[in-house]
Homo-oligomer: A and B are copies of this chain.
Amino acid sequence: MSKLSAPTRDKLKTVSTATLTTCLFKRGLRNQFLQDVHPLNPAAGPMVGEAYTLRTIPAREDLNPITVFQDRGHPQRKAVEECPPGAVLIIDSRKDARAASAGGILVTRLMKRGVAGIVTDGGFRDSPEIAALALPAYHQRPSAPTNITRHQAIEINVPIGCGDVPVFPGDVVVGDAEGVVVIPAGIADEIAAEAAEMTVFEDFVTEQVQQGRSILGLYPATEERTRTDFAAWRKAKGR
């Protein structure tokens, strides 16, 4: 798994998924924001971590009795115990929220193990409990039925699709109160740096607009005056 550096992790905690998608768009990556995946607990703070993936297929009834979880090697349980601290467990549930991808006990265990967050393009059960945890969690909608009703966890840490986005193990997964974006591992450092810079400029712009300034010439900065003002603001703010 690619190593996510501490400075990059820290930078990514200060930028929005919106800003990140713009940086990715500039590199021709148009499809890195998870579609229809929402935070259960937006106040849990930003989520940043390497992708640790879990793949599911539709459940076949004879292979998925309630007893499957007695097997310690069951991929869902294994993923919960082996997802590295600091990583994000991201589950390909084939956008099917008719049964849960996981529930409150497993999500609590992930939190206690120091995992950075959990994401599915299906739904979680015990969603009110999960919404009260300190761990960032993202799903499509609440879904009470136990996962084996519809899903069979089949493989750990292979490339998956989640919310129509390609996710490779080690990609950097970032979540905020808006949603989740996936950054290819190889460009995480440069994207983080660029997004952090963009954020400084956007904070300046927001302040100017709040003071009544027009966006024309300001955003984007096509006027010389904008660049001068920004330099001065930046100096004054020490950013």
A residues neighboring B (CB under 8 Å): 16-18, 20-22, 25-31, 33, 35-36, 38, 42, 57-63, 66, 69-70, 72, 77, 80-81, 94, 97-98, 100, 103-106, 108-109, 112, 125-128, 141-146, 148-149, 152, 154-155, 158-161, 164-167, 176-179, 181, 184, 202, 205-206, 209-210, 212, 214-217, 219-220, 222
B154 and A66 contacting across the interface, CB-CB below 8 Å: no
- Compute how far the CA of A48 lies from the CA of B103 in the bound complex, rounded to whole angstroms: 22
Q: How many Å from the CB of A1 to the closest CB on chain B? A: 17
- Compute how far the CA of A98 lies from the CA of B72 in the bound complex, rounded to whole angstroms: 35
Residues of B close to A141: CB separation below 8 A: 36, 38
Q: How many Å from the CB of A68 to the closest CB on chain B? A: 10
A selection of 26 A-B contacts at a CB cut-off of 8 Å is: A18-B100, A18-B103, A18-B104, A18-B144, A21-B144, A21-B145, A21-B149, A22-B66, A27-B62, A28-B62, A30-B145, A33-B145, A57-B166, A63-B166, A70-B220, A77-B215, A81-B215, A94-B94, A109-B209, A109-B215, A112-B210, A127-B178, A128-B177, A143-B179, A152-B166, A154-B158
B21 and A70 contacting across the interface, CB-CB below 8 Å: no
Residues of B close to A148: CB separation below 8 A: 25
Residues of B close to A106: CB separation below 8 A: 215
- Compute how far the CA of A206 lies from the CA of B110 in the bound complex, rounded to whole angstroms: 12
B126 and A18 contacting across the interface, CB-CB below 8 Å: yes
Q: A215's closest neighbor in chain B, by CB?
A: B109
Residues of B close to A181: CB separation below 8 A: 144
A215 and B126 contacting across the interface, CB-CB below 8 Å: no
B128 and A42 contacting across the interface, CB-CB below 8 Å: yes
A178 and B128 contacting across the interface, CB-CB below 8 Å: yes
Residues of B close to A166: CB separation below 8 A: 57-60, 63, 152
Residues of B close to A18: CB separation below 8 A: 100, 103-104, 125-126, 144-146
Contact A108-B209, Cβ < 8 Å, known A38-B142, A126-B16: yes
Residues of B close to A70: CB separation below 8 A: 220, 222
Q: A59's closest neighbor in chain B, by CB?
A: B166
Q: A163's closest neighbor in chain B, by CB?
A: B58
B21 and A146 contacting across the interface, CB-CB below 8 Å: yes
B160 and A57 contacting across the interface, CB-CB below 8 Å: yes
